[in-house]
Amino acid sequence: MSDTSGEREKDPRVEFEAITEPTELPRTRFSEALDGFVQRVGNLASWVWVLLVAVIVVNVTMRYAFGRGYIAFEEAQWHLYSVGWMVGLAYCVQNDNHIRIDILHEGFRPRTKAWIDFLGILLFLIPYVAIVLIYSPNFIQYSFSTGEISDAPGGLPFRWAIKSLMFFSFLLLLVAALARLARAWAGVRAYRRVE
């Protein structure tokens, strides 16, 4: 449809994208190296969603077509969700796709946004990740040493394996946080020269 008045109609999708656009920060060699690692792990882990769909299809087919439900399939779904979600945390931090409940952030100047990211990561995210990394090995070791299995009859063995994911996913989250921290600091310095 042509516009004869010379003005183009506003596309509401463009306005939404502008509102939800992540904070763009400059990249550094350090952040590029860390982001590349997180991206490779994330790309590999993204295949877990294909596997999850396959497990769900098999589980539903077995239950409704053949009248046989298996606890192991249910637990495999939970474990696969855990893998996707836990690894996805690092990807979200890396790409600034995590949920922001901050209506003020949109109106701030780029340097202020960079400061908020820098301080938020430094004061909140990294200490939280450090606490999980400090305390999770004992949790995992206890699970391994006791041979923890599912409480459900017919459930999955080796509960320590999925619990180990917590430690490794938070290591990956730390890598993503350090990359984002480096980018935020570069943003603070770069935007100071611009403003």
Domain extent listing, the chain:
25-98+107-194
Q: What's the predicted TM-score (pTM) here?
A: 0.79
Measure the CA–CA gap between 194 and 154, rounded to whole angstroms.
Answer: 62
pLDDT digits over 34-47, tens only?
Answer: 999 999 999 999 99
* Distances in whole angstroms, Cα of residue 33 to Cα of each of 46, 66, 119, 148, 154: 20, 50, 22, 37, 43
According to DSSP, residue 8 is labeled P
Going by pLDDT thresholds of 50, 70 and 90, the confidence category of residue 111 is confident
Measure the CA–CA gap between 36 and 70, rounded to whole angstroms.
Answer: 39
Going by pLDDT thresholds of 50, 70 and 90, the confidence category of residue 99 is low
C-beta separation of 71 from 150 below 8 A: yes
pLDDT digits over 170-181, tens only?
Answer: 999 999 999 999
Q: Which pair of tokens denotes residue 3? A: 């516009």
Calculated CA dihedral for residues 88, 38, 43, 101, nearest 10 degrees: 30
Q: What is the pLDDT of residue 190?
A: 84
Count of helices and strands (H, E) across the chain: 7, 0
Is residue 183 over pLDDT 50? yes
Is residue 12 over pLDDT 60? no
Q: What is the pLDDT of residue 1?
A: 47
Q: What is the pLDDT of residue 116?
A: 87
